[in-house]
């Protein structure tokens, strides 16, 4: 009995001490961590739409999207994040689309763990620049050969799965958002 | 002194004891990743060893592993938060491998095999030796992989322009190949040294 109490109290004491230490560290650093995440989002956003000076959050039937507004308070377009399954793990994308939901202004990868050297190339300019100005009124297509239509992009050689995943995640989200936005206007 | 040096070479955690294989193989795709992983382990192992050695007479035998794990997890979480706060790029690159230091057997291994039986001073020295050994091991492994796979080290291009990147080196297979060669090299050097004496 005495032994049991000793074991329990030592373990409990160590755990409490450690939680205090962690709470202290987190209290000191949480502002920086949250700020860094915001900065990263902001940086990606301004790479996609350098003219936006104001961002307004907009709730579309439960989906959070961002209205991008320029100096003269004109609507430049919308930004949204999209997450879906990649080759190894989930991929999170940030995309900016024009105000009419017709052309993409660009796509950035916020989070991915695709194969280094192969699938990880979805984060590179060569691949992502293809999405700049692409027409999304019909679903984007991912080809292994050279592209002919304005809604087509070329997959990365030997990383077709990751390339297709990006396109699929994007298409689904755009379709979803478009349907929800239409519903809202008619309501 | 011997406690310090054994981790750097004779009982090298990666090449001689083959401990901590998960981070060794997974994060060594670029020299910078290897370097930061090493730094994280130096911090965690040194502080954990110190604390474990400090409380070795108080902790009942039955719950020692649980206590060590809580202590290690605490320091790992501190490193994880610090990376996210001060070097967010590295935090993103190392991703889940920072929290996974908790189950790195080098750390629990040194706490259990050394720090729980030795004085605080020699525990810290042992921890520094082992973690520095781990760090240089990771850095060498990562540098070779980055050099052959991307033609650069720490992002600086070293290979001539005509160099064709060996993508296999960046993939998991490359990690095993380079690790195998390094372990073999290490064994060979030891053999030669033994013959001489």
Cα–Cα distance measured from residue B149 to residue A175, given in angstroms and rounded to the nearest whole number: 39
Kindly report, residue by residue over A20-68, the tens digit of the pLDDT. 999 999 999 999 999 998 888 888 888 888 887 778 888 877 788 888 8
pLDDT range class, residue A186, cuts 50, 70, 90 = low
Q: Is residue B46 part of a domain?
A: yes
Q: Is residue B76 part of a domain?
A: yes
Tell me the pTM. 0.80
Structural domains counted in chain B? 1
pLDDT of residue B78: 95
Q: What pLDDT does residue A160 have?
A: 87
CA dist., res. A97 & res. A103, Å (int): 6
Quote the CA–CA distance of A135 and A152 in Å, as a whole number: 9
Q: CA of B28 to nearest chain A CA: how many angstroms apart?
A: 11
Q: A98-108: per-residue pLDDT in tens?
A: 888 888 999 99
% of residues, chain B, pLDDT over 90: 50
Query: Tell me: the pLDDT tens digits for A122-155?
Result: 888 889 989 988 888 888 888 888 877 888 888 8
Cβ–Cβ of A7/B62 closer than 8 Å?
yes
- By C-alpha distance, the chain A residue nearest B58 is A10
Contact A18 B60 (CB under 8 A): no
Count other C-beta atoms under 10 Å from residue B75's C-beta: 24
In a domain, B176, yes or no: no
Query: Chain A residues within 8 A (CB-CB) of chain B?
Result: 3, 6-7, 10-11, 14-15, 18, 21-22, 25-26, 29, 32-33, 36-37, 39-40, 111, 113, 115-118
Model pLDDT, residue A24: 96
Q: Tell me which residue range forms the domain holding B84.
A: 2-141
Residues B55-79 have a mean pLDDT of: 92
Residue B109 placed within a domain: yes
Secondary-structure percent of chain A, ordered helix, strand, coil, rounded to 5: 45, 25, 25
Q: How many CA atoms lie within 13 A of B155 on its CB side?
A: 3
Non-local CB neighbours of B1 within 8 Å, separated by 6+ positions:
none
Q: Are A82 and A110 in contact (CB under 8 A)?
A: no
User: Given an 8 Å threshold on Cβ–Cβ distance, is A14 in contact with B70?
Assistant: yes
β-pair type (A152-154, A141-143) = parallel
Q: How far apart are the first and last CA of chain A?
A: 69
Alpha-carbon distances of B41 from A118, B72, B77, B174, rounded to whole Å: 29, 10, 12, 23
A187 has pLDDT over 50 = no
Using an 8 Å Cβ cutoff, are B151 and B91 in contact?
Answer: no
């Amino acid at each position: 009995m005495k032994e049991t109490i000793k074991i329990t109290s030592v373990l409990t004491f160590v755990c409490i001490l450690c939680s205090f230490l962690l709470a202290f560290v987190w209290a000191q650093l949480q502002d920086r961590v949250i700020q860094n995440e915001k900065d990263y989002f902001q940086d990606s956003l301004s790479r996609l739409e350098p003219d936006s000076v104001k961002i307004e959050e907009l709730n579309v039937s439960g989906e959070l999207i961002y209205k991008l507004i320029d100096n003269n308070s004109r609507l430049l377009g919308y930004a949204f994040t999209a997450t879906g399954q990649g080759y190894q793990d989930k991929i999170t994308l940030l995309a900016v689309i024009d105000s009419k939901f017709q052309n993409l202004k660009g796509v950035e990868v916020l989070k991915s763990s695709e194969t280094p050297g192969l699938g990880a190339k979805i984060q590179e300019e060569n691949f992502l620049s293809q999405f700049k100005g692409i027409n999304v009124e019909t679903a984007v297509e991912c080809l292994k050969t050279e592209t002919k239509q304005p809604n087509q992009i070329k997959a990365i050689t030997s990383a077709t799965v990751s390339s297709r995943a990006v396109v699929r995640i994007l298409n689904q989200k755009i379709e979803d958002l478009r349907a929800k936005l239409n519903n809202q206007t008619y309501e | 002194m011997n406690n310090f040096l054994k981790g750097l070479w004779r009982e090298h955690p990666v090449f001689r004891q083959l401990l901590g294989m998960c981070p060794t193989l997974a994060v060594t795709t670029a020299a910078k990743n290897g370097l930061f992983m090493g730094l994280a382990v130096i911090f965690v192992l040194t502080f954990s060893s110190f604390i474990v050695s400090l409380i070795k007479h108080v902790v009942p035998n039955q719950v020692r592993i649980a206590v060590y794990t809580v202590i290690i997890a605490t320091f790992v979480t501190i490193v994880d938060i610090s990376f996210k706060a001060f070097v967010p790029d590295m935090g993103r690159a190392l991703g889940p491998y920072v929290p996974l230091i908790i189950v790195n057997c080098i750390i629990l291994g040194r706490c259990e095999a050394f720090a729980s039986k030795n004085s605080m001073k020699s525990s810290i020295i042992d921890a520094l030796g082992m973690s520095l050994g781990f760090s240089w091991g990771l850095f060498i492994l990562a540098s070779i992989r980055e050099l052959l796979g991307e033609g650069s080290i720490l992002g600086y291009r070293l290979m001539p322009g005509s160099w064709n990147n060996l993508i296999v080196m960046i993939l998991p297979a490359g990690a095993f190949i380079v690790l195998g060669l390094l372990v073999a090299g290490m064994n060979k050097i030891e053999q030669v040294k033994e013959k001489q004496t």
